[in-house]
Copies of this chain bind each other. A is one copy, B any other.
Amino acid sequence: MGWGDLGVFGQPSKETPNLDAMAAQGMLLPNFYTANPLCSPSRAALLTGRLPVRNGFYTTNARARNAYTPQEIVGGISKDEILLPRMLKEKGYVSKIVGKWHLGHRPQYLPLENGFDEWFGAPNCHFGPYNNSNRPNIPVYNNTEMVGRYYEEFMIDRKTGESNLTQIYLMEGLDFIERQYQAQRPFFLYWAPDATHAPVYASKHFLGKSQRGRYGDAVMELDYSVGKILSWLKLLSIDQNTLVFFTSDNGAALTSGPHESGSNGPFLCGKETTFEGGMREPAIAWWPGRIKEGTVNFQLANVMDLYVTSLALAGISPPSNRTLDGIDLTPVLLKQLHTHPNRPIFYYRGDELMAVRLGQYKAHYWTWSNSWQEFKKGINFCPGQEVPGVTTHDQKEHTMQPLIFHLGQDPGEKFPISVLTKEYQDVLSRISPIVDQHKKSLVPGVPQLNMCDVAVMNWAPAGCEKLGKCLKVPKSQPWKCDWPH
């Protein structure tokens, strides 16, 4: 989902009354970022508090390539990483993930092996295949065992876009909250529906309701669901004791055409890119009685901060034996401070530091939308947008003289500041040491997204026997995955 997909962030059809109300009752963070313009690495960063280049969610098969966890991926989240639910156990938190996991689908990588107590959802994304001939349909798990597969027990009608998955996910979330409330246990719910990902789906009640087409229908259903969760917390009178944070894992994909594309508002390009459209995210923090209502905070922040902030709020010391990339947002959320004015945002694509934001300035060290080869095939990450020398189809290096934009004056990254100005030189002299320090001290994790193999696919997930849904596992034939962009 994109920054511009919420009414409160300027979506012209204003179809997110619950999220808009959540912002009115809480804090809006217009400068909030993901850690990567793609799902798996972004989610890995959220749950580890570390950049994908540290936690291993990247590839070295080629420079600056986005990589994720399709079915043929061999790797997943490393056992060396300490995920947020594991940390939260220290203070007795019970954790559940509802929806898409995306940190690896082989048994050792699944949520319950990594600190979560419960899971209802799928290990991979819900797009194809739509039958099991060459690749198995994605399994849906209830905790440690599959309970069916997408397009089989869990229908998504490819023609109408109808699916009740978001409603199922909503019920799973509400039920989890209620059980923890009854048991008076502290809890962490990671509610991660994927309805806005192509093929976009919504349940019958929402289909056709939006001015925006099917994508808007899905957004409306997500908005409705968030509203239900918030009112559930109020009904149980635990709203004043619960921080709710809404965000997305990457900017809206713009390649899917008008029916299935979201909006990145005034920002450049979308998912897969390190322009603002790919990495600036909608973000709302809600905590009645603790977060002042109707506030806006311009602190530069990102998903990794949620790891550190959650630990701070739970009174748990963060792991001391590793670099964390998040900061504690407690003063921002609870005291409306802007405590980290010099906190940089790093924009990575795979193993390459593409850009850095400091204050209002963003310096691009590399620019790339996608390859000429893909672009000529019609794959366009910036449809209708073209900024000469910026949305390049070659991996263009600017490391000696980065392209610098003032994002306050030029949120669309259209007017690079002239290198001849004092402003440029001043900014560069402030950003350069930060980049040098970052690169010098960076110890990349072992890349987990390099190898692929048909044998690792979801042929026979745990629980398949009971259901009679085990498929024959083909012979292992590993290869280096190809990541085109």
Contact = CB atoms under 8 A, between A and B. Distances in A.
Which one of A4, A12, A212 has the highest number of Cβ atoms from chain B below 10 Å of its Cβ?
A: A12
A14 B411 CA distance: 13
A30 B14 contact: yes
Contact of A406 (B258, B412, B415): B258
On chain A, which size bracket covers the interface? 35 or more
A199 interface: no
B263 A266 contact: yes
A477 B258 CA distance: 53
A292 to B, nearest CB: 14
A385 B383 contact: no
A268 interface: yes
8 contacts: A4-B266, A13-B30, A215-B409, A257-B415, A258-B415, A268-B384, A383-B414, A384-B386
A384 B406 CA distance: 15
A385 B267 CA distance: 12
A409 B266 contact: no
A219 to B, nearest CB: 12
A11 interface: yes
Interface string A97-129: 000000000000000000000000000000000
A259 interface: yes
A406 B257 CA distance: 12
Contacts of A257: 415
Interface in A380-438: 383-387, 406-415
Report copies per complex.
2
Given A266-B263, A408-B216, A409-B213, A296 B258 contact: no
Contacts of A3: 12
Nearest to A254: B414
Contact of A10 (B10, B259, B268, B406): B10
B258 A414 contact: yes
Interface in A23-64: 28, 30-31
A175 to B, nearest CB: 32
A9 interface: yes
Interface in A205-249: 210-213, 215-216
A298 interface: yes
A259 B409 contact: yes
A265 interface: yes
Contacts of A31: 12
A360 interface: yes
Nearest to A411: B12
B14 A296 contact: yes
A410 B258 contact: yes
Interface in A265-298: 265-266, 268, 296, 298
Nearest to A257: B415
B296 A408 contact: no
Contacts of A28: 14
The 3 A-B residue pairs with the shortest CB-CB distance in the complex, in nearest-first order: A10-B10, A211-B408, A384-B414
A451 to B, nearest CB: 38
Given A13-B30, A384-B386, 14 more contacts: A4-B265, A12-B265, A12-B407, A12-B411, A13-B298, A211-B360, A213-B409, A257-B415, A258-B406, A258-B409, A258-B414, A258-B415, A268-B384, A383-B414
A205 B224 CA distance: 43
A281 to B, nearest CB: 12
Interface in A57-78: none
A266 B383 CA distance: 13
B386 A12 contact: no
Contact of A11 (B10, B385, B407, B412): B10
Contacts of A385: 384-386
A408 B360 contact: no
A218 B446 CA distance: 51
